[in-house]
Amino acid sequence: MLRTLLKRHSYEVETASSGEEALAMVDSFGPDVVLTDVRMPKMGGLDLLATLRAKQNDATVIVMSAYGNMDMAIEAMKAGAYDYVQKPFKPDEVVLALKKAEERESLKRENRALREEISKEHKFENILAKSTQMQDIFRTIAKIADYKTTVLVTGESGVGKELVARALHLRNARKGGPFIAVNCGAIPENLLESELFGHKRGAFTDATQDRRGLFEEATGGTLFLDEIGELPLALQVKLLRVLEDESIRRLGDARDIKVDVRIVAATHRDLLNETKAGRFREDLYYRLNVLPIHVPALRERRDDIPLLIDHFIQRNNGRLGTSTRGLDTEARRLLYEYSWPGNVRELENTIERAMVLCESDQIIASDLPERIREARDPVQLQLSSGELSVKKTSRVIEEILIRRALQKTKGNRTRAAELLEISHRALLYKIKDYHLSEL
Ligand SMILES: Nc1ncnc2c1ncn2[C@@H]1O[C@H](COP(=O)(O)OP(=O)(O)OP(=O)(O)O)[C@@H](O)[C@H]1O
Ligand SMILES: [Mg+2]
């Protein structure tokens, strides 16, 4: 009877005479809605529902039950059924329930599409971010990935500079080629040169064989020069030559070898400052800085924090076998407001530690390290105090900024005034006003 009725309303219908038979056809038929009786021989409606859910099938289930069997219908709703119709029913009632279910179906579909859209938007290769600053970086990477032009990635430690370098490589048409990373700060100066450029047999005592350097290894791909700020001055000269000639010379060799590599360099230092201090060659700096990408500190893009937290929790659940669901509001707030001097790496480690220490499936404030519980950002602290006076709040924040500027410039007031973008005179006045003269 239902089949005839529903066909008349243009539904595509399959019928089954038992729960088992229904389950057997679910995969091939793929119903959007399952209309089932509660009481049936062997597998009842509730078991059918449970089995569907266990199979990750999220078809909308509507149960039919006879008057006097209402508590069964309620059970079914609790177990995730969408609706119920009471028997005996008028044709309209069933059609109405199906129309409602259809609405839910299309909402569900829209939701799913939206969720996929969002996760696509917030993920770029292995970089997860939704802040506008990082979205700009995603766009820049996509735009410049295909060129061979040298890229300089800057930013504090742990912000994801290496991930940016890898994304540049993965988005490059040359991605079939190798990605070779070398940490210029971790290799002793006397080995670094032969590491980078290779050597000829006999070039030095231990050189018993010809050896290719990393530039040659990276041919056709990307050479990632990490911590370029640590490169000794003597090698800076050689690197500049390589970048200009696109060829290298192995140690102890007389001939040049053409190399075809994309150079991505990274540093947590302010290279312009390093050039001023004479620790980094200016000509190399300009040669490297053709396409700069600055990855902002995590505290400058707090929008990314919740996304990263959820990502690390999920990843660790898989890796550590934990079953953490999330954080309570207080813990979430602490993580959101903390200043993260170690950036994403510090967040990553903090989450892992909390998941291991955590005694329930929810991370709470006491699972977090003391520095995070105590050291709340004073600016945030002031802003969350409930104080609404612009005057009072500005004074507190102004004092904090002046302290920071003086700390950063080691007490140099002229430089501090520049950073603060106020006049030297105004700074002297404020130092007196806030009693900061000892700084
Ligand atoms: N946006 C992000 N999404 C996912 N993981 C991230 C993100 N940013 C950083 N990470 C993770 O944080 C850690 C640090 O990132 P990475 O090594 O790229 O930082 P870095 O800037 O090179 O740091 P350092 O200057 O200390 O070398 C890595 O484990 C990386 O996977
Ligand atoms: Mg790094």
Cα-Cα-Cα-Cα dihedral of 369, 269, 169, 307, to 10°? 30
pLDDT in tens, 126-156: 899 999 999 999 999 999 999 999 999 999 9
Residue 72: per-residue pLDDT: 81
**Residue 188, preceding bond cis, omega within 30 degrees?**
no
Percentage of the chain exceeding pLDDT 70? 95
pLDDT of 167: 95
| 128 close to ligand 1 (CB < 6 Angstrom) | yes
pLDDT digits (tens, 9 = 90+) for 290-312: 999 999 999 999 989 999 999 99
The pLDDT, as a whole number, for residue 222 is: 95
From 153, 154, 159, the mutation candidate for ligand 1 (largest count of ligand atoms within 8 A of CB) is 159
Which ligand is located closest to the Cα atom of residue 345? 1
Q: Is the CB of 167 under 6 A from ligand 1?
A: no
Structure letter (DSSP) for residue 208: -
Q: According to the model, what pLDDT value does residue 55 have? A: 83
Q: Summarize the confidence of residues 208-213 as an average pLDDT.
A: 89
> Could you give the residue ranges of the DSSP H alpha helices within 321-422?
329-337, 343-357, 370-374, 378-383, 390-408, 413-420
- Mutation to probe ligand 1, out of 136, 315, 340, 345 (largest number of atoms < 8 A from CB): 345
CA–centroid distance, 158 to ligand 2, in Å, is 7
In the reported structure, the alpha carbon of residue 226 is separated from the centroid of ligand 2 by a whole-number distance in angstroms of 6
* Strand, helix or coil for residue 192: helix
pLDDT category at 377 given cuts 50, 70, 90 is: low
Distance CA 279, CA 311 (A): 39
φ, ψ dihedrals at 241, nearest 5°: -60, -45
* pLDDT of 246 above 80: yes
Domains and CATH numbers, the chain: 2-119 (3.40.50.2300), 128-296 (3.40.50.300), 299-376 (1.10.8.60), 381-433 (1.10.10)
Q: How confident is the model at residue 173 (pLDDT cuts 50, 70, 90)?
A: confident
pLDDT of residue 428: 93
Give the pLDDT of residue 91.
87
In this structure, the residue with its CA closest to atom 26 of ligand 1 is 157
pLDDT at 84 over 80: yes
Q: Which of 138, 344, 349, 350 to mutate to test the pocket of ligand 1 (most atoms within 8 A of CB)?
A: 344
Task: Tell me: pLDDT of 54 over 70.
Answer: yes
Average pLDDT of 214-220?
94
Using the structure block, give the residue that is written with the tokens 């994801």.
160
pLDDT of residue 430: 93
Q: Which of 163, 164, 224, 311 to mutate to test the pocket of ligand 1 (most atoms within 8 A of CB)?
A: 163
Q: What angle, rounded to 10 degrees, do the helices at 343-357 and 304-320 form?
A: 50
pTM over 0.75: no
Question: How much is the pLDDT for 118?
Answer: 63
Tell me how far the alpha carbon of residue 157 lies from the centroid of ligand 1, in angstroms.
8
Would you say residue 261 has pLDDT above 70? Answer: yes
Whether 162 is in the pocket of ligand 1, judged by its Cβ within 6 Å, is yes
Choose the weakest-confidence range: 32-41, 138-147, 344-353: 32-41
306 Cα: distance to centroid of ligand 2 (angstroms): 22
Mean pLDDT of the chain: 89
The pLDDT, as a whole number, for residue 116 is: 65
Which ligand has an atom closest to residue 164 CA? 1
- Mean pLDDT lowest among 97-101, 242-246, 382-386: 382-386
| Residue 262 Cβ < 6 Å to ligand 1 | no
> Is the model's pLDDT at 175 over the cut of 70?
no
Check if the beta carbon of residue 336 is closer than 8 Å to that of residue 369.
no
Query: How confident is the model at residue 277, as a pLDDT?
Result: 94
Cβ partners under 8 Å of residue 83, min gap 6: 62, 63, 77, 97, 100, 101
pLDDT score of 227 more than 90: yes
